[in-house]
């Protein structure tokens, strides 16, 4: 799948999905987890991405799929060992995204000290909203993220509460992975995560970003 970067109008394939766990203290708390002292990174496959208007498909292997609304930073300029100061130059766009999670599979993986790839990586588990040029979004650390399910607000928080801000995450990740245009950084979810059911309609918003709308199907 390809995305078009807003300012340059360049179309690139979606690359790596770098996802951050426990990046809001209240969410770490609701999961019974400690706040990490460095970013907690996991990967999702690009095959998990769907766009606005499409549907999250509940896999038969899980009985408990949760929503996690997140700000997504879209990499427009690649690099490695990117400094915190240079990080904004590498982010072309922002979008609202959902890090769909099979919570029952993840809980079992945690118990067994297994990776989260299955819990996080099913097809349709990485909805990505429309891309907005980073310059038009303004301060990425002062946005309100919100998720409504069937009209009810389930998650609402400011990105001010991120433990590791976007620039720190770009810096950190780029010391491990060479970043490339089309890579997506899912920056972690605030509190209020919970289950979705077939028939649900999800609307995720972020200040300055266009909304992400997805339905849930079996």
Residues that bind Mn ion (CB under 5 A): 68, 99, 189
How far apart, in Å, are the Cα atoms of 202 and each of 41, 53, 112, 178? 25, 10, 32, 33
Q: How many CA atoms lie within 13 A of 87 on its CB side?
A: 17
Find the shortest distance in angstroms from Cβ 23 to Mn ion: 8
Minimum CB distance to Mn ion smaller for 119 or for 131:
119
Find the shortest distance in angstroms from Cβ 9 to Mn ion: 30
Minimum CB distance to Mn ion smaller for 12 or for 166:
166
Find the shortest distance in angstroms from Cβ 70 to Mn ion: 6
Record the tokens describing residue 193, joined without a space: 């995560």
Tally Cβ neighbours within 10 Å of residue 12.
Answer: 18
Residue from 187, 124, 199 nearest 157 by CA: 187
Residue from 130, 133, 158 nearest 143 by CA: 158
Find the shortest distance in angstroms from Cβ 120 to Mn ion: 8
Minimum CB distance to Mn ion smaller for 40 or for 180:
40
Minimum CB distance to Mn ion smaller for 99 or for 183:
99
* Pairing state between β 69-75 and 184-186: antiparallel
Query: Residue ranges of the alpha helices (H) in the chain?
Result: 25-30, 87-90, 103-112, 117-121, 134-137, 166-174
Find the shortest distance in angstroms from Cβ 98 to Mn ion: 9
Minimum CB distance to Mn ion smaller for 6 or for 39:
39
């Amino acid at each position: 799948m390809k995305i078009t970067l807003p300012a340059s109008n360049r179309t690139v394939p979606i690359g790596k999905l770098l996802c951050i766990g426990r990046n809001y203290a209240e969410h770490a708390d609701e999961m019974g987890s400690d706040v990490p002292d460095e970013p907690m990174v996991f990967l999702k496959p690009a095959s998990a991405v769907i766009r606005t208007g499409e549907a999250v498909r509940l896999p038969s292997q899980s009985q408990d799929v949760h929503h996690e609304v997140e700000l997504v930073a879209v990499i427009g300029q690649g690099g490695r060992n990117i400094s915190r100061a240079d990080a904004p130059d590498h982010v072309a766009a922002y979008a609202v995204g959902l890090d769909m999670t099979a919570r029952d599979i993840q809980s079992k993986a945690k118990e067994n000290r297994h990776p989260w790839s299955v819990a996080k990586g099913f097809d349709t588990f990485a909805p990505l909203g429309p891309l907005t040029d980073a310059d038009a979004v303004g301060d990425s650390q002062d946005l309100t993220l919100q998720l409504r399910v069937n009209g009810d607000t389930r998650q609402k928080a400011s990105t001010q509460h991120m433990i590791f801000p976007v620039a720190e995450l770009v810096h950190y990740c780029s010391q491990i992975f060479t970043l490339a245009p089309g890579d997506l950084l899912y920056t972690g979810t605030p509190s209020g995560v919970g289950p979705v059911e077939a028939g649900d309609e999800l609307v995720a918003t972020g200040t300055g970003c266009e909304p992400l709308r997805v339905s849930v199907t079996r």
